[in-house]
Amino acid sequence: MGEYTPRSSILCFIGLFLASVSGPVDCKPPNILFILADDYGFHDIGYHSSEIETPNLNRLAAGGVRLENYYVQPICTPTRSQLMSGKYQIHTGLQHGNIELEQPSCLPLDDVTLAQKLKESGYATHIVGKWHLGIYKKACWPTRRGFDSYFGYLQGAEDYYTHFAFRGLDLRDNDDSVWNYTGSYSTTLFTHRAQELLRRHSSQTPDTPLFLYLPYQAVHEPLEVPEQYMVPYAHITDKKRRIYAGMVACMDEGIGNITRTMDQLGLWKDTVLIFSTDNGGQIYQGGNNWPLRGWKGSLWEGGMHGIGFVHSPLLPAKVQGTINRELIHVSDWFPTLVAGLAGGSLNGTKLDGYNMWNTISRGDPSPRKEILHNIDPLFQRPNKTHSMPVMGTKVFNETIRAAIRSGDWKLITGSPGNSSWIPPPDYGFTPVTPIEAPGKMVWLFNITADPSEYYDMSSQRPDVVQRLMQRLQYYYEVAVPVFYPPNDPRANPKYHNGTWSNWE
C-alpha cells in the first residue's frame, strides 16, 4: 500500500463506504479482529433466548449489526476453506468431509488466501487458534499462507489441557512444537496469547493495520472446562449441556478480555470485529440449534444457519444496534474484508463471495441472491429409480448429497443428515424426528416463511424444484474433482518426535 496519509481514522473509514472507492485507500484502514467459534450452536448465544449467558457477545452484538440470514458450512474444514479462499468447496476440491489427521490434503496451494491479500494491503497478519486447512506439507501451514505469526494447533480437535490430538502433540508457536503448556486450558491460553500479540503490535507497529484471526478451539469437543465456569449452570441437569455452557462462558469472558485490551491500548477505536461460528452445534456434545432443524454435519438449517455479527465504533450510528436479514455467506468475508474494509484489490482472484460491506454498513440490499451450500458426489444414497452417478460424468441427480438456497427457496437432495428438531435438554420438550417416505431424496422449503423447515413444498412447487435442480446441474458441471486422498501412514506422530507435523 505504501505510506499512509495521516488522516483521522473516522474520515478514512468513511471513505471506504463510498461506492466510488476502488483500489488502495490513502490512509490506514481499520484493524480487523475476526473471531471464529467452533461448533457453536444457533441457540447458544444469549440474544437467541438461550439459557446460556453471554454478556460480552450480547453487548458487542447489541452495539453492532446482527446477521440473522447468515450461512456457514456444516463442518469445520469447509467453512475455514471458504473463509480463507472466498471460494465454494466445489472450486477447491474440498467437497467431502474434513481434512483428517493423516490425509495428505490442504487448501490448494495455488489459491490466494485472505491473509495474503490483506498483507498486500499493508496489514500485519496473525492467527491464534485452530487451522484445520492442511498439515502434510509445510507449504500448507499458516505462516506459508499469508500469516506473519501462528500460535495454535493444525488439526481439527485436541485435548484442551494436554494439547494432544489422538497420538501426538499438536501445539505450535510458528513452526515449532511447544511442550510447556500442558495444563493450560486452550481457551484461556489463546486469549492470553492474543492479548500479548496486541500489546506487542501496539508498542512496536502501531501505525500498521492489524488482522488478527482468532479461531478458538471452543466450544468443540472434548467437553472440558475449569470448574468455576460451570458453577452458574449447576441448575442444568444434563451434564454435557452443563459443561458446554461453561465452555461458552469461558469463551465469552475471553472475548470480553480481548476487546478491553484493545480499548486500553487505543486499538479498539480503529477496529472492526467480526464474530462467527464455523457450523451448527453438535447435539450429542452439548450444543443446541433450537428452533432450527438438524445439527452439525447436516444440510438442514441447524447445520449451517450460523451465528454472526459485526461490531465497530466506526460503523455509522444508523446501523449500530440493528438486525440485518440480508443473505450473507461465509465466502463473502474474503472480498468484504479485502475490498470493502482494506480498500485492496481483488485482482488475481476468482471468487464465489461478494463484497458485503455496503450491505452491512449501510443496509444496502445484498448482492447475493443464491448460495450453493454444497454438492458432495462421494456422499450418495441410491434408490430404486437412480443408479449411482459415475464420477466424471457431470450428470447431477437427486441421489447426490447437495443443497442450494435461491432467494426464499432452499432445495436439498440426497442424504442431508439428521433431520430432527431437538430442544435444549432441560426445556421439557421431546425431540421430534419426522417420518419420511421410503426413498425420499428431495425437499423444498421457503426458508423466509419457514426458517425451521417444517413444511416440505417439493410436491406443491415442482416448478421451483426443477429450476433449482437445473442450478445444481450447472454447479456440478463446473465443479473440480473431489480431492479426498487415503490416509498416509507417514503422518503418524511416532515418526515426528511425538508431534503432528508435516511428512512431505
Query: Active-site positions?
Result: 76, 132
114 CA to centre of own chain: 13
- Can you count the helices (H) and strands (E) in the chain? 10, 18
Q: How far is CA 77 from CA 38, 44, 70, 98, in A?
A: 11, 21, 18, 5
Cα 54 to Cα 454: distance, rounded to the nearest angstrom: 29
Q: Which residues of 291-320 are buried (b: 16+ CB within 10 A; e: fewer)?
A: bbbbbbbbbbbbbbbbbbbbbbbbbeeebe
DSSP annotation of 286: T
Comparing CA positions, the residue from 370, 366, 364, 400 lying closest to residue 382 is 400
Q: What angle do CA 174, 277, 103 make, to 5 degrees?
A: 50
CB under 8 A, 24+ apart: contacts of 229-237: 229/253, 232/53, 233/52, 235/426, 236/51, 236/425, 236/426, 237/425, 237/426
In the three-class reduction of DSSP (H, G, I as helix; E, B as strand; rest coil), residue 463 is classed as helix
Cα 410 to Cα 408: distance, rounded to the nearest angstrom: 7
Q: How far is CA 27 from CA 24, 333, 335, 399, in A?
A: 9, 22, 19, 53
**Non-local CB neighbours of 80 within 8 Å, separated by 6+ positions:** 36, 131, 132, 133, 215, 278
Q: Which residues pair with 324 in a beta bridge?
A: 67
Q: What angle do CA 434, 460, 71 make, to 5 degrees?
A: 60
Q: Which residue has the cell 501505525?
A: 207
- For 289-352, the three-class secondary structure string (H helix, E strand, C coil) is CCCCECCCCCCCHHHHECCEEEECCCCCCCCCCEEECCCEEHHHHHHHHHHHHCCCCCCCCCCC
Cα 328 to Cα 413: distance, rounded to the nearest angstrom: 22
* Contact yes or no for 219/251 (Cβ under 8 A): yes
Cell numbers given for 482 = 473431489
In the three-class reduction of DSSP (H, G, I as helix; E, B as strand; rest coil), residue 385 is classed as coil
Cα 113 to Cα 395: distance, rounded to the nearest angstrom: 31
Cα 94 to Cα 296: distance, rounded to the nearest angstrom: 17
